[in-house]
Structure 1
Amino acid sequence: MPETLTVVVPVYNETAVLEAFHQRLGAVLADCDIECQVLYVDDGSDPDCLALLQRLRDQDARVAVLELSRNFGREVAVSAGLDHVDADAVVVLDADLQDPPELIPQFIEQWRSGYDVVYGKRIERRGESALKRCTASAFYSVLGYLSDVEIPRNVGDFRLLSRRAVAALTSLPERHRYMKGLYAWIGFPQKGIEYVRAPRAAGKSKWTYWRLWNFALDGITSFSAVPLKAATYLGLLTSTLAFMYGAYLLVRTLFFGNPVPGYPSLIIVVLFLGGVQLICLGIIGEYLARTYQESKGRALYFLKGYHPAGGHSADTAD
């Protein structure tokens, strides 16, 4: 049987760039010596974007559309796409044209040489502010230091996965899915291919700084328990310092008296210890909230419809 490849594309209101993306992706796939299909995962987009996806499916027999019942987030959309592919290799690619589809033939070449995961490694991030580049670099550094698994830096979801890598990912039941960490966690032979990341071709990024901050918290709490240990050590350190300072005040009062009440220093110490306690409670709360959400065992997503390539539409739910 011929080799098969499916490109999974999560989509959320990408009407401005979708046609240009599909045209460029189609040209790349036409030159690949492998049977190709494109699965667009509609993550609760507006009606205009969904109508455009349906039009692309009508025009191209290789296109399938998976509709989620609402916006579940990009990580879940990627997971839903991986659940619904049956190919020898799968490429995950965003529709904003920041990641070049032209790298797909190189991904296929490395996959055929024995790598289960072939990912794109960004050596330059064009079109992004200096603040975003600095915060991204800081996050990868912190995550690399805290994580028990070596997660490649400056690497997104743009990658090729073998059939067994996809099977490993879809077998994981967790709800908070930091996919970049999961790709590394499953193991298997992996290789990176360097490229320059382009600015968005059109439209506006959905990743606000608030969403990026929460995404960073998901990444750290999913792959490291170091913050919990750090909270313990921080509590021990502050308790030790408080005890030493108390002993110092006691000795000073016994030998030299206490002519000055010391109100400012007392307030500083109280506020410092209170702040440390709140930080530690916040760290514990982040882990507890994720444990609570995992314990509920809710479905990761629900489908509104599945429209296979060149076939009939089907309403279904997962």
Structure 2
Amino acid sequence: MNLTTPIWNESNLCIAIEDFVYSVCFEQMSEQQFKQSLSTLYEAFQYFYSAQLHYTVSIQYFIQCKYWIDHFLNDQSASQILNFNIQQVQTLCCVLSQYQNDYWNEHARFIQQEQQNRNSLYQYLTKLITHYSELLFVRVDLGYLKEQQVNIGIQDVQQHMKILRNRIANQDGCFMGLRGYAWALEQGTEKGYHCHLLLIYDPSKRMSDWYLADQVGKLWQSITGNLGWYFNCNTTDHKQQFKELNRLGVGHIQCNVELDVSNALNAAMYLVNPEKYAQHLRAMLPRMRSFGTGQFEVHWRRGVAQTLQQCGF
């Protein structure tokens, strides 16, 4: 494990703790390595831990371990972890090693959930593509500036996403002419908390996909108080790379052209990929979701029943 990170934030700390617990269960680690890593993570976690959050299983075991450490330290400095005796170390290892079986269960639950999300997204997009003759697909990745991640916790992410989803629901400004959308929250070692956003517009009302993605990115910066970062997937250069490979799935999509439809669906499925276990959220608020789509069956969309019959749903 590499714990030389100069500045901890909630996201990279949770990932480091998960990696540490995994290493204790499945890899070789000397007693000195164990105590050094534990001392570093324990001290950082004291600052970021929140009883309001629901943590993944690996971090729950680390929290159990933390209670034992609190007892062993008896108000002494975290540096005293380096002086723990063999019996104390064995007790802590025993607590963490219980994660060994739960790791596979947690991994299986993630895959199952992603498959469900994948099926949900596929059905939603199929309805839209069946219903309309053409659509404008826009993809934007939203995140936080690396130097600002120390100021960002999952509660901030939830608040920013709530504002963004409300703006999408109102369909004002850069969301005018929206026919559908989907979003997925993830967590990466370098990117920290980030969101993959898919927006699907009426091309008779909106034409410039690059401009729309750029406006959404600027809105995200405003919502986050300029702590935010964004990547525009609809730039000319980015689209050209995929166009040369016959894999362009953003921009103007003709819904009766098989290659357009296939590419659009493939590009959209990046939002929900069972193979991206390393990107799962490690901390969430109660009832918080990490994925969502718009609704197809809404009052303002005409001919819904006929489309559903065509799709076989």
Higher helix share: 2
Structure showing greater Rg: 1
TM-score by length of 2: 0.22
Q: Which structure is richer in relative contact order (CA contacts within 8 A, separation 6 or more)?
A: 2
TM-score by length of 1: 0.22
